Chain A
Amino acid sequence: MENGNVIETFDLTKRYPRQTAVNGLSFSVKEGEIFGFLGPNGAGKSTTLLMLLGLSEPSGGSALVCGLDPIRQAREVKKIVGYLPENVGFYGDLDAVESLRYIADLNGMDRDATSEKISEALETVGLTNEKRKKVGAYSRGMKQRLGMAEVLLKDPKVMFLDEPTLGLDPDGAARLIDLIKTLNRERNITVLLSSHHLTQVQKISHRVGIMIKGEMVAEGSIDALAQEKFGVDGKEYSLEEIYMKYFQEG
């Protein structure tokens, strides 16, 4: 943490019997940053996040989250990291308030203070009017926003968002991206964001990393990556163009 890196990995590796999902990954995310974590399906992004949360043991290398070891200090890490899994699941027979209350209980939050925090989280993600509806009846976009509310409930220092825009309509995706940007700016939450909505990612990311077949092939600000791939020709390149270039070469 002394060097201002909220996330740091050193040669992080995950081998499965048949394939290597993450191969010698070393990258870092600075405090207050939104880091766009890009790569095709199966590149190893989710596996990396799981290792950062101590849910999956690395086959090699190590990682630090806020200076903590995710394996040996799993509980401390989970206190400060808000994680929105890919395809987050809910208990269909609970409503939004009950779902959030369970998360608050698991976090050992003070029972009196929770009601207020729950309303605040629901307000932030714009679910106040639907808070008494059973989650089973929620649309994909509403579920994703409820997932964000669960993440916010514990006042995280860092958020790991694994493809939060997956399956959302363009408007829903844009609104979620705006929310992430606001949270980053107003609450100084560091964000590790994996997404395929490159235009949206470009709007808010301070830096991006492109992962292909378990390896990080590029890491840096979008301008720096454009310069590396296309040279200085005065033209503005979109993240999409840069990504495709790396993808074709990787």
Chain B
Amino acid sequence: MQGISAVYRKEMADHFSSFRFVILFALIAMVSVITSYMAGITLKESLEGVAKPQFVFLMLFNTTGAMFSMVQFVAFFGPLIGIVLGFDTINRERAEGTLIKILTQPIFRDAVINGKFLAGVTTITIMLVSIVLIISGLGLILLGVVPGAEEIWRLLLYIVISVFYISFWLGLSILFSIFFRSIATSALASVALWIFLSFFVSLGASVLADMVAPANAPGVDSTEAIVKNIRVKEGISLSSPMSLYTKASATVIDPMRKTTEALVLMGPMEKISAGRFQNPLPIGQSVLVVYPYIIVLIALTLVCFAISYLVFMLQEIRT
């Protein structure tokens, strides 16, 4: 423990005094203010003269204003936060000759990666909580609604899922920083994998699904074929952390959503009118719907971490 807490404290101090953190934070804060303002304006206009529906507060997070919703922004940009915080964790210390010095102090070798990973996770949590607070504050001002207890729980759950999602990318970039001696290589590898998993997997999923289970193959019952095609596509895209996260967070933020699949895209007005005819899902049920996705996200993070651990423990440290 002594090693972990020393490394953790050092790493936290480094994060909070670095330009990297300041720039990242400024960027995120700016985007959250703008998106939630847009969302707030959109909501306000469409709610004009209508009785305030339930869960309007949560809509601040998933209403697409001019560009994208907050949930979409984190899904897209979150990995970059993890990567920026982690891509040079170990190889920078190696390059500067400080790694060997730390590892010849009486600590366990894994204390170094554990302490650094935990510091990264803390930093991510602080960032996300601040974003949610900024948006909530704006929401209060713009819409004049106070979040209910359930909405607060849902937001907390959303933060937890997002922390896991970004931590996966942190773990992955730390793995690359152990694996590659060059800082530029580890940065590039992390970004390449991010682009691949986030964009090409979903594109590739439909291509592959069409190959494996074509939807309009001759001589097959077409309904069955379409269902099979969709299943395959689903299965493949589950290997993308981004689609795992998008599904989980969208369900948590939107109580009206009863599956992880959004079959129809709805604007706020449609959502509200749909809501008049159906009851929202209780939070416990929402959690039941998304927990497999959360488990997979956590498992992915743990796998990353386990590999980092193995590689680091077996490596010869010369600098």
Contacts and interface: CB of A to CB of B under 8 A. Distances in A.
Given A89-B96, A89-B97, A50 B105 contact: no
Interface stretch (B1-9, B174-182, B185-193, B232-240): B1-9
A105 B105 CA distance: 10
B100 interface: yes
A220 B300 CA distance: 57
Contacts of B100: 55, 85, 89
Interface string A92-107: 1100000000110111
A199 to B, nearest CB: 27
B2 A108 contact: yes
A81 interface: yes
Contact of B102 (A50, A56, A81, A106): A106
Contacts of A91: 96, 98
Interface string B67-105: 000000000000000000000000001001110111111
Contacts of A106: 2-3, 6-7, 102, 105-107
B10 interface: yes
Interface in B283-298: none
Chain B: number of interface residues, binned into ranges? 20 to 34
A54 to B, nearest CB: 9
A83 B5 CA distance: 22
A247 interface: no
A89 B106 contact: no
6 contacts: A55-B103, A75-B108, A89-B100, A91-B96, A93-B17, A106-B3
Given A50-B318, A55-B316, A89 B101 contact: yes
B50 interface: no
Interface in A62-106: 75-76, 78-79, 81, 83, 85, 87-93, 102-103, 105-106
Given A55-B100, A75-B108, A83-B101, 17 more contacts: A50-B316, A55-B104, A55-B317, A76-B106, A78-B104, A78-B105, A85-B319, A87-B319, A88-B101, A89-B96, A91-B98, A105-B2, A106-B6, A106-B102, A106-B107, A107-B105, A108-B6
Contacts of A46: 318
A92 B105 CA distance: 19
Contacts of B319: 85, 87, 89
A120 interface: no
A57 B104 contact: no
A89 B98 contact: yes
A88 B99 CA distance: 10
A40 B219 CA distance: 79
Interface in A140-165: 150, 154
A81 B2 CA distance: 18
A53 interface: yes
A154 B107 CA distance: 13
A85 to B, nearest CB: 5
Contacts of B105: 78, 103, 106-107, 154
A57 B318 CA distance: 12
A56 B318 contact: yes
A164 to B, nearest CB: 14
B230 to A, nearest CB: 50
A56 B98 contact: no
B106 A56 contact: no
